[in-house]
Amino acid sequence: MTTEPIRDVNKLKALAEYWLERGNYRNNALIVVGVCTALRIGDLLKLKWEDVYDESAKTFHSHITLTEQKTKKRKVIALNEQAVQALLRLLPHRRGKYIFSNNRKNANAISRTQAWRIIKKAVEAIKLIGVIACHSLRKTMGYLAWKAGTLPVLLMDIFNHASFEITRRYLGISQDDRDGVYMGLAVF
């Protein structure tokens, strides 16, 4: 089964807040930064504090610059206020060089499996329906941006997709979305 975007903003907020309410700032930041950056989970988990934070100036960078693992393309991503706030909450609790580090003595980045467990636990707790997993974070950004009026060609560029068909599948356009177009048409 293909993962789906989280289409309901209130459910997305509940997913992130599930971990925030439990004082788990790492897991909250994983969801928030994952959606806000639209990074693939492998690239997200490899982020280091130096990628987002200037220790000497005590400020967050305005952008993340990285080379995507899958495409080997250089990517520059603006850090929006929501991502910075999630990282700011996590900053005093950081362990090691990786943002999303495990709790072991020699802190390394959490695994993809652990990231999946984090998302799965919150999904089950808030009773979110659908096939929601790590890739859903990336797809959610695209879906919400598209619903807000972002041109699909721009999303295709952000995702580094070779064809619009791939981007179209990413957006997870549902029958409800199609119905909304018909029902919202007010020409006459």
Digit-coded pLDDT (tens) for 101-160? 998 888 999 999 999 999 999 999 999 999 999 999 999 999 999 999 999 999 999 999
Q: 13-51: per-residue pLDDT in tens?
A: 999 999 999 999 999 999 999 999 999 999 999 999 999
Query: Per-residue pLDDT averaged across 154-172, rounded?
Result: 89
In a domain, 118, yes or no: yes
Q: Is residue 3 part of a domain?
A: no
Residue 1 lies in a domain: no
Range of the domain at 70: 9-184
Number of domains, the chain: 1
CATH of the domain at 144: 1.10.443.10
66 forms beta bridges with 75
With respect to residue 85, please indicate whether it lies within any of the assigned structural domains.
yes
Q: Is residue 4 in a domain?
A: no
* Residue 165 domain flag: yes
CB 159 within 8 A of CB 142: yes
The β-bridge relationship of strands 59-60 and 63-67 is: unpaired
In sign, the C-alpha dihedral spanning 92, 97, 99, 102 is negative
Q: How many C-beta neighbours within 10 Å does residue 72 have?
A: 7
Asked if residue 156 belongs to a domain, the reply is yes
